[in-house]
Structure 1
């Protein structure tokens, strides 16, 4: 994988994003085909494009509050709206000029972006980073009401892959993983996120793969 000029920050996406939730949130969402109570709109919701990063986050669906992993189809228009309106979660002198400007943008933007170390099958940190997108206020409403197309509970598959890895059958485990592709990130959005155009949104969209 070729390094990006921005510290190997990559964007790859499978057809869906993955999130980890408690059964109390996940099961009503699967039944309704959309997020319903007790899902909370007044807290930040994170989109995580990387399946394996989500497995690191939720411990292969074993951590409290993340026992169910959902695969969620979202619209491309919605995802790129979230990226275009997001602010980096950390200050970058080249992008923001001064910390006061960055702080104002962070407070008023409907979302934020952070780049976390990507994870392989055994979940140790890799030397390149994967995108995470946090949604708040208007972005959460758009996500729930407009962007979500379908919700599928893939917890049995997650357990199967975990068991295959623990049993040493890596070839069978890899065959079960979502296929991820390079995401053609528009230049203007790439510049705002300190990424490179045509960057990979690494393996798709802290948490959603958990809330």
Structure 2
């Protein structure tokens, strides 16, 4: 039985695509520079998500204030796995931590946070498996921006097209425009810390 905690993403040999939603004030300069620049905040945690449909649920297809532009950010697989190797779950899980106190101590010191949320279908319904979110803290954000990012693409036109097709009842056609995501082969030594693997299915 497949694990309910699997990373599903668009990726190739070099990079993995994660999604973020921003205002035009942040997204425009980022696409132009191919890296995040001011007014992007380097002093707060930024969350990256490899699930396109989860972000569509979160941003309501780009209709929420400050989330009008959808960016596909390709980061190196080396950076992605480095982030996860430094990460701690945002809540205590007996299967992943020796004790609540041990988790709290790790969480307070963590440069990266991880949480699982129900994956979403094309129409926003909760799925039977989970989607991962990665929170990169201000302590690591310069590394994320300066070393890990390979490419930033503005997906806003594609988001508008897919949402329009959905609203017109053309779900099958809309689905063909959704990025293809598959299970990412994360090393077991990293994955077991986040409830991944057969024992947590």
Normalising by structure 2, report the TM-score: 0.93
Moved over 6 A (4+): none
In 2, the alpha carbon distance for the partners of 1:111 and 1:47 equals: 11
1:12 aligned residue (8, 12, 17): 8
What pairs with 1:177-196 in structure 2 (closer than 5 Å)? 177-196=178-197
The residue aligned with 2:113 is: 112
| Contiguous gaps of at least 5 residues in structure 1 | 200-211
Q: Greater relative contact order (Cα 8 A, min sep 6): structure 1 or 2?
A: 1
* Structure 2 residue runs without a partner (length 5+): 12-16
Q: In structure 2, how many angstroms separate the alpha carbons of the residues matched to 1:167 and 1:173?
A: 10
Q: Structure 1 residue 138: deviation in Å? A: 2.9
Aligned pairs for 1:1-211 (under 5 A) are 2-4=1-3, 8-15=4-11, 16-196=17-197
Deviation at 1:124, TM superposition (A): 1.1
Aligned-residue RMSD, C-alpha: 1.4
Aligned length: 194
Q: TM-score, normalised by structure 1?
A: 0.88
The C-alpha deviation readout for 1:138-195, integer Å capped at 9, x for no partner, is 3211111100111111101000000001101112101111111211110101111111
The offset of 1:55, in angstroms, is: 0.2
SS in 2 for 1:95: coil
